[in-house]
Structure formats: structure tokens, C-alpha cells
């Protein structure tokens, strides 16, 4: 199933997308047409949001780094999220803003000291994020610093969460980014340095993961700077296609 969060009848709700992707079924049994729905980021309020740096060997090499010996994890606040179909504002004082297509694992059950062999049992499903970086603001303190990776509106996410059972092996998915129809990133989750199960084992080894927590699992190679008006689409096989537009900071 594909689960969306939307605002309908004046309230936030979760719904299930029909198999033809034309309608959304709500908890009360009513339905909303897909085209009439106002989607929200499929994020549980308060969730802890992890992201991975340098988790694809080819992207590490592209940036001049050796792949890390342990996961390079950073955290994100909720201020960055933008729903499918939304707008990500490019800062006026920076031009090196590049999209990063990422598979997102959504925790379904509390996880504490979970072995990698059991870790995927704690995943409810998967979604897609475009975890923008703005390179002009990189500093070598708690890098990647929040000014680069946690800016308002620069983390489109969605459109939905697909049940883990419908995705299957999370390490066998093609993922790509197009900008105005031209492919700028193309890779496979099979190239992750630390696969989803190992990331959950690592994180849950020192802290408790709760339902709704999310892990943005890193991005493959392909650094392409976007500009105002660009249409960006991030696709992950068996999960979906997340589309947004680049705007300009007010």
C-alpha cells in the first residue's frame, strides 16, 4: 500500500492511494481524487530524521573523500520538508544548490539494539527525499553543517510511504534524478556503503528509534546545480517519483 498524508476537510489525515493512483481512501471510508488532494510531507510530527553523508562510494570519490569506515550521520529538523508538487526556494546568495535523490526508510516499530539480521523487521516502508545541499555554506564543523543541509524548504519528501513488503529488497533499487527531463543522477541502492539494515543496527545500537523516525540513506554520484524554475524529479524504483520545482528565496 501507498500511504499519503494530506490535508482534507480542514484537517491533517493519512490516506491510502488506490492501485490506479487516481484516488485516496481516508480512514472514515470516504475518498478524495488524487488530483484534488493537497498532499503534505509524509512525516510523523516530532519524528527524528537521520541523513547519511558519503553513503555511496561513487559520490564519496566525486567529492574527494574515501568512503567512511562508519556511517556519517547527521540530523535534520522538520523545517526543510516540502510535499510532492511543492517548491524549494534557492537562496539568493548561493548558486551551488544540488539535488540529492535518496531512499528513505521509515521506522515502523521501536528499535533498540537491533541486529542487522532483524533490522528490516522494524521498517514500515519507504519514501523518497531530495535532500538538497547548498555548497557555498559548507564549513568543517559538524560537517555537513545545518546551514548547508537544514535550510527551510530544501528537503522535498514523498509523495507517499510504500509498505516495506511491496518494495522487497531495499538494496536492489534503481534511483535517479532528472532536472527538466535531463538525467543528472543515476545509481542503485545496491551501491550503498552501509545498507539500510546496517544503518538501523548502528543507530539503534546507541539510541532508541521510534515509529515514524526516518533515515535518509544517502545519494549516489551526480552533482548538478539547479536554478529558479527548474523542475526536479527524483525516482526510486518500486517506491515512486517525487516532483518539485525550484523557486527563489523571498
| Unique residue bearing C-alpha cell 529538523 | 77
Please give the full DSSP string across 145-172, using - where no structure is assigned: PHHHH--TT-EEEEEEEEEHHHH--TTS
48 forms part of the interface with other proteins (CB under 8 A): yes
Candidate segments 41-49, 125-133, 183-191, 226-234, binder of other proteins by CB under 8 A: 41-49
Q: How far is the CB of 191 from other proteins (least distance, A)?
A: 22
Q: Tell me how crowded residue 201 is: count the other CB atoms within 10 A of its CB.
A: 20
Containing 118, the helix (H) or strand (E) segment is helix 116-119
What x-and-dash track marks residues 202-241 binding other proteins by CB under 8 A? ----xxxxx-------------------------------
Stretch in the footprint of other proteins (CB under 8 A) among 9-17, 30-38, 147-155, 190-198: 147-155
The CA distance from 230 to 183, in Å, is 13
Least Cα distance to 127 among 241, 239, 15 occurs for 239
Q: Which is nearer to other proteins, 1 or 73 (CB)?
A: 73
Nearest CB to other proteins, comparing residues 29 and 46: 46
Min CB(7)–other proteins separation in Å: 17
Contacting other proteins (CB under 8 A), which of 77, 190, 227, 229? 77
Report the C-alpha dihedral over residues 180, 182, 188, 191, rounded to 10 degrees.
Answer: -100
Interface residues with other proteins (CB under 8 A)?
A: 46-48, 50, 72-80, 91, 137, 139-147, 150-152, 206-210
Amino acid at each position: 500500500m501507498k500511504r499519503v498524508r494530506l490535508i482534507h476537510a480542514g484537517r491533517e489525515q493519512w490516506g491510502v492511494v488506490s492501485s490506479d493512483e487516481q484516488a485516496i481512501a481516508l480512514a472514515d471510508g470516504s475518498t478524495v481524487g488524487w488530483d484534488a488532494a493537497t498532499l503534505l510531507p509524509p512525516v510523523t510530527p516530532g519524528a527524528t530524521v537521520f541523513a547519511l553523508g558519503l553513503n555511496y562510494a561513487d559520490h564519496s570519490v566525486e567529492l574527494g573523500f574515501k568512503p567512511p569506515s562508519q556511517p556519517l550521520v547527521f540530523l535534520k529538523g522538520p523545517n526543510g520538508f516540502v510535499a510532492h508538487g511543492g517548491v524549494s526556494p534557492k537562496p539568493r546568495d548561493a548558486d551551488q544548490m544540488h539535488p540529492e535523490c535518496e531512499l528513505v526508510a521509515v521506522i515502523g516499530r521501536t528499535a533498540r539494539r537491533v541486529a542487522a539480521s532483524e533490522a528490516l523487521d522494524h521498517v514500515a516502508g519507504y519514501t523518497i527525499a531530495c535532500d538538497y545541499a547548498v555548497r557555498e555554506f559548507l564549513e568543517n564543523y559538524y560537517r555537513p553543517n545545518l546551514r548547508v543541509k537544514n535550510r527551510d524548504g530544501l528537503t522535498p519528501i514523498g509523495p507517499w510511504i510504500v509498505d516495506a513488503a511491496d518494495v522487497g529488497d531495499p538494496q536492489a533499487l534503481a534511483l535517479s534524478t532528472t532536472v527538466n527531463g535531463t538525467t543528472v543522477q543515476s545509481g542503485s541502492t545496491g551501491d550503498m556503503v552501509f545498507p539500510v539494515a546496517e544503518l538501523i543496527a548502528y543507530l539503534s545500537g546507541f539510541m532508541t528509534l521510534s515509529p515514524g523516525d526516518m533515515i535518509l540513506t544517502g545519494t549516489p554520484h551526480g552533482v548538478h546545480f539547479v536554478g529558479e524554475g527548474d523542475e526536479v524529479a527524483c525516482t526510486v524504483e518500486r517506491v515512486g517519483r517525487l516532483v518539485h520545482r525550484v523557486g527563489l528565496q523571498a
